[in-house]
Amino acid sequence: MTDLCNSNTNIALRKNIESFLDYMKFEKLLSQNTISGYLRDLNYFAEYTEKNNIYDYKNISHENIIDFLECLFKTHKEATVSRMLSTLRSFYRYLLISQKIKNNPFSDIRNPKLPAKNIDILDQEQVKSFLGKVPASTSLELRNKAMLELLYCCGLRVSEIINLKFENFDFEENLVRFIGKGNKERIVPFGNTVKIQVEKYLGSARFNIEREKKSNYVFLNKSGNRMTRQGFWKILKHYAEKFDFNKNIYPHIFRHSFATHMLEQGADLRIVQELLGHSSISTTEIYTNLDKRHIKKTYFKYHPRNNMDTK
């Protein structure tokens, strides 16, 4: 697909797409990655309308939408079709609130049902074993242990950890405040395990790593610069190989495990949603299926009537 500005699509549609993207960027404060995703989807739609002589995009018919979806399904997976539908629903909702259309033609079009996601998690004993094996003797080891405790105990993303600054921590209230995905402020509490490890790292280890360089970022690489995503991955991979862990270990598996373990322990779904920083509770609901499997497994293992000899 060509760039939107080089396309010969309907000029009015192109202008409205640009206005929508500005609205999402400056009013909704969405990230550049999200804006770029919207642009790709709307560009695809704009070119489709041109190829198929659909110039009255404001009153696009139900039949035109169905034809568009059939075209999408020929070359795209359900997840891509679902994402494009969500983009178009948002775009037309913007046109509606801007009083440029009277009805949203996509409001009654349901997203295709996606196959259940296969999410890897570590059980609580595996997490305990992994984190317990992380050494804490040298300055770099103290840094690593603090980062990995934050990864699991607070359910943080790697990007959130490496961008933490001193002002993000409130050690009196045991809270960490930061700007997460989508430029949204998030507040996550942390327990004494995290507090002890982070304070140990900040006590002297960080000073030894920083040396003459001065940085406001909490976690630094061995050169004294801000830790990178690649650097974090290498550290985690090193420990996974060293411990000979019989599991595919990657950063997000600790976030998945955090959410699942919280639900297993009885945490409210909306609280977990807030802790993870999910804008929609439907995103968090994927963990309830994992939690149901845990409940079922526990029931069949421990319920006395389930273990009786029925002969």
Q: What pLDDT does residue 310 have?
A: 42
So where are the chain's domains?
Answer: 4-97, 124-300
What pLDDT, in 10s, does the model give residues 155-187? 999 999 999 999 999 999 999 998 877 777 889
Same fold, 4-97 and 124-300: no
Instruction: Provide, for the chain, the percentages of residues in helix, strand and coil under a 3-state DSSP scheme, each rounded to the nearest 5.
Output: 60, 5, 35
Per-residue pLDDT tens digits for 33-43: 788 889 999 99
Examine the pLDDT at 32 and tell me if it is beyond 90: no
pTM as predicted: 0.59
The pLDDT value given to residue 23: 93
Catalytic positions, please? Answer: 157, 181, 252, 255, 278, 287
The C-alpha atoms of residue 186 and residue 176 are separated, in whole angstroms, by 8
CATH architecture of 4-97: Orthogonal Bundle (1.10)
Angle of helix 62-75 versus helix 32-51 axis, rounded to 10: 110
Task: Pick left, alpha or beta for residue 157 (phi over 0 → left; psi -120 to 50 → alpha; otherwise beta).
Answer: beta
Per-residue pLDDT, 9:
45
CATH entry, 124-300, from 3.30.420.40, 3.40.640.10, 1.10.8.60, 1.10.443.10 = 1.10.443.10
